[in-house]
Amino acid sequence: MKKNLSYAVAFSLMLLSHMAIAQLPEEIDLNGKWSLSWEDEFDYPDSQLDDNWISQNGASGGVVLCSRWRENAVVNNGIVELQAKKETRGGQDWTAASIWTKEKFHYGYYECRYKYAGATGTNNSFWMWTGYDIEEGQKAVELDPNEGHYPNEINTNIHNWTDKYEDGSHDDWPEHFDMGGIEKHPSYTHVLDATITTNKIRFSSTHGAHFHIGEFRIYAPNANGYPQDAVSNSADSEVAGLVNYTRDAATTITASGSYVIDGRNTDPENVANGLNTGINASWISQKDGEKWLEITLSEEKEIGCIQFTNGWLSGTGWNALIDNYKIEYYDGANWIELAKFDIADGADFSEEYHVVGMLWDETTIKYYFDGELIRTFPHDFIHAPTRVYLSLAILDMGIAGAVTDAIDGTSMKVDYVRYYTKSKDTSINNVMKNKLKSFPNPVNDLLFVENDNKLEQVSIYDLQGKMVLQSNLDSQNSINVSSLSPGVYCLVVNGVNMVETGKFIKN
Ligand SMILES: [Ca+2]
Ligand SMILES: [Ca+2]
């Protein structure tokens, strides 16, 4: 009997680690030193949001096109929705919401389960900011596990807002991830399975902002192959025998438009000037409508490969990579598609929830996506306690893609924010481990829980990991589960600096 009980507890722990808390990284071991210290599941009436969170109420600055208000943060059915609306308020043409915790937190594991607003132009952010109300000697730091862009971009960053340079700039360390199963790149190379013969190639894109095309190369078939380092200025001479028809003097290049910048050449001919980066290296498209580039050769030529570059370089990172493109050739009667790419063919994070996480200790920041480590940032300056922010913004300049009326009525939907801490005194946790008992099992109405420590709150999850009941324990350490449908449930019990888990069957 005793053996069966311990088996049941062990099984329930295993079950929990794979169900209710399936997105936790392996190193956050709730059976060891880690425990849930703070959470907001948004399982309460809207008016209660203000117990834990403060809301922006006013205009935003910089590239943020929306003012943000408490009314745009709505708690409903266990979710807080940050709603984007097309309405003039606070001197801006859009409204949205940004909220932050009253409390500050320190080292630990932070996670947020959420969906993006379903339109380009939105910045769907789970982030931390110490504020400047910190102790002397500490740094004001912004930590961005994700400034998410629809449909499936993860944008991470770390900002040091204390040590500013004379020009007002500061150090930050951005890193971008395409998590939708397809990735954007600074160059694309299409080696044709079968050569084609044509005198016209057309490139087009419905990308929602200006973009840069550095070089657009149309190569004759070449037995030695084609450039591997496409973003190099010397790509055309990288491989013996390369003939790039785009750079023929007799080739003409036309485009849908150009971005006019004083003192700078952004003409379409720049895609054939041999320069890939820097001033005057690129064709920069117009902002609105379809963007296209048409390259007409002096006569029909046999073509073996098409290669082009896009985006602009800052440091080692490429910016403003295009979301989609299509390449066609003219066969004398029709335009025939040669290649296409669309980031929207990947996963849609406005349709599915994902969990974004951050692990912070004395020496390292780690960022996670659905429990998988995506970035490690060693540090020696991130020590000040921080607030947690949930923010929806609408961004200017195509930073998050085109701003269109499709944004109106979309929302960033947050299921929960959880914060776990690691106990330094492992002996206490070891003593507590596996001491939770619940009875009777199966249960009809009152479920009693028992543990060596003082217990405060119990949460009950179904096998899909959805929380179905949460309550503070009464003086008898019992909770009424009569409202639950018959089945197997997991329970998580919180006390002072501890969390225990178990499983039971409801009749
Ligand atoms: Ca160029
Ligand atoms: Ca929830």
Cα atoms in the Cβ-side hemisphere of radius 13 Å centred on 285: 28
User: What ranges do the domains of the chain cover?
Assistant: 2-33+425-506, 37-181+349-422, 187-345
Distance CA(437)–CA(4), nearest Å, equals 13
Residue 496 binned pLDDT confidence (cut-offs 50, 70, 90)? low
Find the mean pLDDT for residues 23-48.
94
Dist. CA 34 → ligand 2 center (Å): 21
Number of DSSP helices (H) and strands (E) in the chain, helices first: 3, 34
Residue 38 bridge partners (DSSP)? 419
Confidence of residue 355 (pLDDT cuts 50, 70, 90): very high
The rounded Å distance from CA 461 to ligand 2 centre is 12
CA of 98 to the centre of ligand 2 (A): 18
Ligand lying closest to the C-alpha of residue 235: 1
The confidence band for 435, taking pLDDT boundaries of 50, 70 and 90, is low
Domain 37-181+349-422: state its class: mainly beta
Instruction: Find the 279 Cα to ligand 1 centroid distance in Å.
Output: 10
Q: How would you classify residue 14: left for phi > 0, otherwise alpha for psi between -120 and 50, otherwise beta?
A: alpha
CA of 29 to the centre of ligand 2 (A): 22
Dihedral-angle region of residue 12 (phi above 0 means left; psi in -120 to 50 means alpha; beta otherwise): alpha
- DSSP β-ladder status, 187-205 and 291-310: antiparallel
Q: Is the pLDDT of residue 2 over 70?
A: no
Dist CA 87 CA 69 (whole Å): 12
Instruction: Give yes or no for residue 37 having a pLDDT over 90.
Output: yes
Question: How far is ligand 2, taken at its centre, from the CA of residue 103, in Å?
Answer: 19
**Ligand 1 centroid – CA 241 distance (Å):** 21
Rg of the chain over Cα atoms, rounded to whole angstroms, equals: 28
CB 139 within 8 A of CB 383: yes
CATH 2.60.40.3080 correct for 2-33+425-506: yes
Q: Tell me how far the alpha carbon of residue 504 lies from the centroid of ligand 2, in angstroms.
A: 22
- CA dist 401 and 208 (Å) reads 5
Q: Are 230 and 305 in contact (CB under 8 A)?
A: no
- Extract the runs of DSSP E, i.e. beta strands, from 136-179: 141-149, 153-164, 170-172, 175-178
pLDDT at 266 over 80: yes
Residue 22 pLDDT grade (very low, low, confident, very high; cuts 50, 70, 90): low
What global pTM score does this model have? 0.66
**ω into 221 cis (within 30 of 0):** no
Quick count: other Cβ atoms within 10 Å of Cβ 340? 12
pLDDT tens profile 308-352: 999 999 888 888 899 999 999 999 999 999 999 998 899 999 999
Token pair listed for 433: 């481990």
* 230 phi, psi to nearest 5 deg: -65, -25
> Does residue 14 surpass a pLDDT of 60?
no
pLDDT in tens, 384-413: 999 999 999 999 987 898 899 999 999 999
429, containing H or E segment: helix 426-432
Q: For 111-139, how does the pLDDT look when each residue is reduced to its tens digit (9 = 90+)?
A: 999 999 999 999 999 999 999 999 999 99
Q: How far is the CA of 446 from the centre of ligand 2 (A)?
A: 24
Residue 109 has pLDDT above 80, yes or no: yes
Mean pLDDT of 199-225: 96
Q: For residue 5, what pLDDT is reported?
A: 37
Rounded to 5 degrees, φ, ψ at 10 are -60, -40
d(CA 71, CA 411): 13
Span 66-88, average pLDDT:
98
What's the CA gap between 40 and 44, in Å, rounded?
10
Gap between the Cα atoms of 346 and 178, Å rounded: 9
Predicted local distance difference test score (pLDDT) of residue 273: 97
CA dihedral 453, 455, 459, 464 (to 10 degrees): 10
Q: Indicate the SS3 state at residue 369.
A: strand
Predicted local distance difference test score (pLDDT) of residue 151: 93
